[in-house]
Amino acid sequence: MPSTRQKALEKAKLEKKEPRRAGVMALFYPNSTGKTNVLLILRKTYKGVHSNQIAFPGGKEEKEDATILQTALRETYEEVGVPKNKIEVVKHLTEVYIPPSNFIVQPFVGFYEKDQHFTIQESEVEQIVEVSLTDFMDDAKIVEEDMRTSYAQKISVPAFKLNGYVVWGATAMMLSEIKELLKQVL
């Protein structure tokens, strides 16, 4: 089957599921010593499939969002307090479909010249996780982990081990794409 036909069939299957849309922001910024960090968040514990997971700031599209980029910028402001006019959006990444929650997520990469502390949204964010670019780019931080998911009691997944947290699933896929892009320019 031609690859274009395969892609069309996969898109048609996905559209039948009517996934909700979300936008997230992979935010790179200098820390207090001028070294580059990437911002992740630890989600609150709640009844849901993404409870207590590491993620990028972001969330579901709302009616008032003109574009999915506006969703990512709005959610980044709500969750970590970074105003949208302070983020230089440099790239969108590959969309990721998340079957357990039926979301299709559009990730973006942005730069932030950090001029204030992050302010977490207490109702959704448990903690800010600031990862140094050096740690993120270290191939030794890529691991295989046995995880419990909404669809399997024990499944071995590729993951990142960053700041003592296991980052897996859609966020790990997004991080992998970012890492490959950075390897091309570094």
**Dihedral over alpha carbons 139, 111, 174, 121 (to 10 degrees):** 110
- Considering just the CA atoms, what is the radius of gyration of the chain in Å? 17
Q: What would the two tokens of residue 49 be?
A: 């499939």
User: DSSP 3-state assignment of 183?
Assistant: helix
**Per-residue pLDDT tens digits of the chain, which is 186 residues long:** 346 545 655 665 666 678 899 999 999 999 999 999 999 999 986 665 545 689 999 999 999 999 999 999 999 999 999 999 999 999 999 999 888 788 899 999 999 998 788 999 999 999 999 999 999 999 999 998 887 665 566 777 889 999 999 999 899 999 999 999 999 987
**DSSP one-letter code for 81:** -
Could you give the C-alpha distances from 42 to 5, 35, 124, in angstroms and in order?
Answer: 39, 22, 9
Question: What is the Cα–Cα distance from 57 to 60, expressed in whole angstroms?
Answer: 11
Which pTM value belongs to this model?
0.86
